[in-house]
Chains A and B, each alone.
Chain A
C-alpha cells in the first residue's frame, strides 16, 4: 500500500467528523432518519470544506446494510466498498472530464436499470460546473423525476455556472469556510497522531494560511511533516515546530516585515520599501505571498480605522466591537499594533493604500518578474499624496460660507489663517514663505505656491507649473501664459476664481489675479529649465519642426498664420 497523503488519510468517514458544517450535517441526518430523502442534492462551497466527503458519507448512509441510517456502520460490505471506491452502485463521476452530452446520455441510459445489489443507485457528479450546456439540458428530465431507486449528488465550487433549471431541481447546501479555531483543533489532532510537535502559535499561523479550507491546512501540515521528518511511524519528531520555523518552511515573510513595509509606505519612504523587498528576496521568501499579505494588512488597517470611527458614535460601541472581532481573525496584541499604526491616518488615505496595493497585487501574481512588480507597487504607494478627507474640505467650505454671509466687504480676519493651520498641521506652516515679495525669492515663492495649489487642486496646479509669473504679491499676481491651451484653462471664470482663492489663502491677503497672454517665445531661463527638468513640457521648436515636416511631405507653403483665440 503506497503512502496516502494526510488529506486522504484523514478524510472524515462519519457525519459528525465533518468540521464546521453542522448546519448541513444536521439537516442530512434528520432527513435520513425521517425518511425524507430528496432525489437530488447540490453541494457547493469553496475548495476543501467537505463537499466530496459529505457526498460519500451520504452515499454510505443511504446504502449501508443497517440503514438507511444517519450513522453508517463502516463494517458492512456496502460501506467498505464505498470507502474503497469500488461499489458498483455508487458512480463517482468526474464532471470536468466527462462533460459532454454523450457521457450524460450514458448516465440517462443506465439510470433506468435497478441497482445491482444495493438499495439505491447513487450518482455523485463532482466538479459539475464544467458539464456543458447541452449535457445539462439533456439531464434535466432525469434530474426532475428519476426512478425511486436513484439519487443524484452534485458537487461544485462554482454554483453560479449551473443553469437555473438545474439549481431549481436540487436541494442545495452551501458549505461554509471553516472557522480558524476549528481548523486548529482538527490539525492539532492530526499532528498529535502523526507524531508532529508543533506550538499553538504555529497552528494559528497554519490555520490563517489555510483561509478556511481544511484541505489547504492539511496540505500545509504535510509540507511541515516532510520538513520535520519523523524518523519512524508513530514516533515523535525531534524538532519542535514554532512560528519562526514555520515561516521559514512555508517561505512566508515574517509579520514584522509587513509592519516594516507598511510603516515605510506610511512615512513615504520608498527607499526603505525597496530595501526590504530586496532582503525578503535574498531570504528566498515567496514574494507573491508577501504581496497578498500586504493587501490583507492594509485591509486590516482600514478595518481597525473604521472600527475606531464607529466607536466614537454614542451607543454604537458594543455591536461594533463584536463585529470587529468577526472581521479580524487576529490576536489582541496584533490588533493593538495595527491601532498604533493607523493612529494618524485618515480613512481616505487608507482606502488609497488598499486600492493601490490590491491593484499592484494583481500585477505581482501575473508578472514574470514579481519582484519588479512589487517594488513598483510599493514605490507608487509610498509616493501617493496623502488624501485630504472630504469632511475637512466640507468644514472649510462651511467656514467660508459663514464668512461670506457675515459680509464680504470686511477684510479677512487673522483667525482664518490659524484655522487653516490647525487643519493642515505643520506641513502648511513650512510651505508659507517667510518673506514674501523679495525679488530674489520670487522664483522660490512661485514654486511653493505651485506646490501648494498642486496639493489642493491637482489639475490647476499642473497648469500653473507650465506657466510663469510676471508679477508677484505684494501687489497683484500676474501670470504670463504662452500656450493657448493653458491660457484658455486659466482664463476660465471658475478656475480663475479658485486660483484667486488659493492665492488669498497662500499669501493670506486679498490678491488680484490676472492672466495675460504673452508671446510664445519663452525666456532663456525656461529653455534651460526645460532641458534639465521636466521633459513632458511641449517645446515650440518641436512645433516648428512638425510644420516643416508637413510642408515637406505635402509640398505646401506657409501662406499666413492665424491665431485662433476665443
Chain B
C-alpha cells in the first residue's frame, strides 16, 4: 500500500516525498484541513515511509514496522490525543512526549510524534511544546493535526511548516464509495454530498444513520405550525434527551439552513449538502425570506453555543423552535 493508494492530495504527497528523498524533512509539520479528508492517514503514511524496512521513501504496509505503526504499537511512533474521558491534551502529556523524544530512536531512524487534534492541547500544553517545536532533539519529527488555526497559538503555528488539505471533490468520494465499499451509486452520491469532501465521514457508520435521521427531522420540522405549540414542545423534549443528540441535531439544522440560504440566493440546488431533501429545502426557501433564514441560522448557532455551556437543553430547544415557527 504505497503513497499512490491515498485518495487525493497529490500535491501535498509530492512535496513530502521530495523532502523524504532529499532528506529535507522539516522537523515540525502542521496539517490543516477539514475533518476526515485524510490528514491522519497521510501522517501515518509518512511515518511508515520513514520506518519501512522494505522500501525507500515509500512504504509497503506489510513489514513488521508498517504493521506496528498501523496498529499504533511502534516504539518510535507515538500518537498523542486526549486521554480517555478527558477533553484536552494536558501539559503532562506534552512533558511525557518531550522526554520520549530525547531518547534515541529504537530503529535508529526517527522518533515521530503525531498530535491529533492539536487544537485540543490546552493553553499551558501549547506553550510547553513551543521550545521543542522550534528546536527538537536530533532526528525527531512532530506532526500536528488540526482542522483550523483558530484554537492554536500563533507562536505555535509559526514554528511549523503548514500543509493545507482541501476537501476531496464529491466525485472522488462517490467513486471511492462505489468501488471500495460497494455502495449503490445514488446512495454514494448522497453520502458524498453530506460528507462535504470528507472521506472519513462518508464511510463512517454514523453518516448512514445521520442520513436516515435527518429525513425524520426535516419531516418533523416541516409539520410544525405556530398553532400547534404542543408539537414543537414535544419535538424539543425528544431532542433534549441527550446532549450529543441535541448538538448533532443543531449542527444539522445549521447545514440545513445554510442550504436553504444558498437556495434562496442562487435559486439552484448546486452545492447543497442535504441533497436528498431538495424538495423540502425549496419549500422552506419559498416560505422564509433570506433575512429570516439568516436570523434562524444565527439562532441555531446561538442555541448550540448555549447548550455547550450547559443551559437547560429542553428550554434552549423550545426557545429555538418558537423562533422557528414564528411565535416570537
Contact = CB atoms under 8 A, between A and B. Distances in A.
B23 A365 contact: no
A345 interface: no
Interface stretch (B76-84, B181-189, B204-212, B254-262): B254-262
A215 B131 contact: no
A271 B267 contact: yes
Interface string B286-300: 011111101001000
A34 interface: no
Contacts, number: 169
Contacts of A535: 226, 287-288, 292, 325-326
Contacts of A99: 124, 128
A127 B326 contact: no
Interface stretch (A19-27, A394-402, A536-544): A536-544
Interface residues of A, number: 68
Interface residues of B, number: 73
A251 interface: yes
A124 B255 CA distance: 50
A270 B265 contact: yes
B73 interface: no
Nearest to A378: B265
Contacts of A284: 164, 166
A391 interface: no
B7 interface: no
A286 B164 contact: yes
A194 to B, nearest CB: 10
A218 B232 CA distance: 56
Nearest to A363: B301
B107 interface: no
Contacts of B297: 376
Contacts of A286: 32, 164
Interface in B16-30: 18-19, 22-27
B306 interface: no
A5 B135 CA distance: 10
B265 A379 contact: yes
Interface stretch (B38-46, B57-65, B148-156, B235-243): B148-156
B149 A365 contact: yes
A307 B265 CA distance: 35
A222 interface: yes
Contacts of B196: 369, 371
B68 interface: no
Nearest to A532: B287
A542 B27 contact: no
A274 B155 CA distance: 33
Nearest to B295: A536
A227 B94 contact: no
Contact of A47 (B154, B265, B289, B291): B154
Contacts of B55: none
Nearest to B94: A97
B227 A219 contact: no
A281 B198 CA distance: 13
A541 B158 contact: no
A251 B128 contact: no
B291 A383 contact: yes
A227 B15 contact: yes
B138 interface: yes
Nearest to A46: B154
B150 A366 contact: yes
A122 to B, nearest CB: 17
Nearest to B257: A376
B98 interface: yes
A195 interface: no
A3 B265 contact: no
B184 to A, nearest CB: 25
A89 interface: no
B102 interface: no
Nearest to A220: B162
5 contacts: A270-B290, A366-B150, A379-B290, A383-B291, A538-B327
Interface of A: 2-3, 5, 7-8, 46-48, 52, 85, 94, 96-97, 99, 126-127, 129-130, 157, 213, 215-216, 219, 222-223, 225-227, 229, 251, 270-271, 273-275, 278, 281-282, 284-286, 288, 363, 365-372, 375-376, 379-380, 383, 532, 534-539, 541-542, 545-546, 549
Given A226-B15, A229-B22, A375-B261, 6 more contacts: A47-B159, A97-B132, A127-B130, A223-B162, A286-B164, A376-B294
